[in-house]
Structure formats: structure tokens, C-alpha cells
Structure 1
Amino acid sequence: MKRIFNNLICAILFFALMLSLGGCMSAGGIEDTNGEEDLSLQTITDKDIIEGMGSTRFMSSSSNSTVNGVSKSVHKAKTMSGVLELYEDRLKNETLDITVSCEITKGNARLVLIVDGEIVHDFDLNGADQSLVLENVSGNVSLKIAGESAGYAVSYTVK
């Protein structure tokens, strides 16, 4: 009888733990409120993108490689809410040559290049092989994606 009681208590505690963890995983996302066809952000602002948000929720995978001085990365997320920095570097009077491919599968998103706290370029959300060359770049450079319940695949190369 004591063993059955202990097993019952363990099962109840395990169930309560799973419920609380499940609640943590689903809470905090930013809902897509403008429909499937409209990919524009509704909640996240330019300031949020530039300065970063307090938290970003995502389940993703990424891979990075460098061959002959060319850095290539691939990032994928099933669902992401918040702002994620995909690439960051500090340049001093250098040429930045970046090529980006992006596919948004759900939600709202924005993919931007930032130089010293200023958004200098928005990439197409469903575009392949988008190239951007900036000359004489000095300062902090970052590629960021902002998402509201967004699913995405982004690949980029930096020369």
C-alpha cells in the first residue's frame, strides 16, 4: 500500500512538473496579429531591433563555416519571437560584402543590416542571393532578424 501511495505521489509531482515546464515553453511568444499574408512586424520596433530586447524565445539550429576567408552561416527556426543577432563584426575602413538568402515560413519578420546603431538595409524576406556591398565601413556591423512567431531559414556569406 505504501509503495502504491509513493508511486501515486511521484506521478502527481511528475505531471505537475510537466505542466509547469509546458507553460514556460509556450509563454512569452509574440503573436502574429496581422494574418498569414502580411509579414510586417506589429509589435517589435526599430529601437527593439537596434538595442535588442530583454528576451528572445526560439527553437533553432545553425551551422557556420569559413573557407578561404569567406564566412558562411545557415540559421533556421521553427518559431522565434524577439530579436536575434545572426552576425556581428567590428570593421575599420573595410569593404563589407554580404549575400543573404531568406525564407519566412510563418509569422512576422524583418531582416536588417545595422552599422553603428543605424539600420542601413532591409533584406527581402523571401529573396535568394541578395548581395550588398558597402565600402569604407567603420564601426560595429550586425545582421539581425526580428520575429513575431516567425519560422525562417536564413543563410548568408560574408567576404
Structure 2
Amino acid sequence: MPLRADPDVVAALRAQLPEDLAHLPLTSAAEYRQEAWKAWTVRPPANGAYYPALGLRGAAAMATGFMTLGGLWMVIAGPSSSAGALEIILTLSIFGSVTVLLAWSKGKSNRKARRLQERNTVLSDVSAQIDHEVEQGRIPLKPAGWEGKIFPPL
């Protein structure tokens, strides 16, 4: 008789998964791993030329921010000229707006990356617990009749 998954163990594992991962099968390690690898997210690696947490939007926000601050300094410390005041105010408003939009966009992107990393952590933690339950004999490694590949743990 093939080993069946312990319903209490499956319920405890299911309670750890967020709603967007609730569809993952938890009745065998092979089924979980196959679907969990599909849900796994790989971030671009950081290197000397590109750091994902800063990125191009972050660098552009810094550049426009410095230009805005430099322009403000010129307005405050420089000689006053009413002829160019409108152009300076308009230019500073544009640079300031671009800085805020770029910083907001990069912040939103970083929050999404953190959520995906947290999701990967949950997938990995549940995978380790499933492996432990397989060793204890409470969940089968693969279901009866499984002919597919058994993926490595996350």
C-alpha cells in the first residue's frame, strides 16, 4: 500500500503558504517541487556595473535631484535676475517632478522585489519542511504512479 500524506501535516504546511501560493500541491515532495519551481522568482544578480536596488531609475533620480538642488542653490546664492526667473522656476519644477517620479517608481520596484524575495523564502522554508516530513515518513517523496522528474529541493 503506497504511503499517503498525513492530513494534519498537509494542513500545517498549507497554513504557512500565502494566498497566491495556496494552489501548490502538498501531498508529495515531487508534486510540490515541480510547482514550486514554476513559482520561484530569480532576480538579476548585482555586479559592479549594475546594482538592482539602485538601478538606472535610481541613478537618474539622483542626477535630476542634484541638478534641482544645484539650481536652487543658484537661485538662492546667485544674483537675482527677473528676466530668467520664470525659466529657472519652470526648469526646477520639471527637474523636481522628474526626481520625485523616478524615486517613487524605483521605490515601488524595490518593494516588489522585496515581496518576491519574501515569497521565495516561504517557498524554500516549506520545501525544507516537506523534505523533513518525507524523512519522517509522513509525506511520500512521489505519489503512486509518478513518472515525472523529481526536481531538487528549493
TM range (shorter): under 0.3
Larger relative CO (CA 8 A, sep 6+): 1 or 2? 2
What is the TM-score with the length of structure 1 in the denominator?
0.24
What is the TM-score with the length of structure 2 in the denominator?
0.25
Larger strand share, 1 or 2 = 1
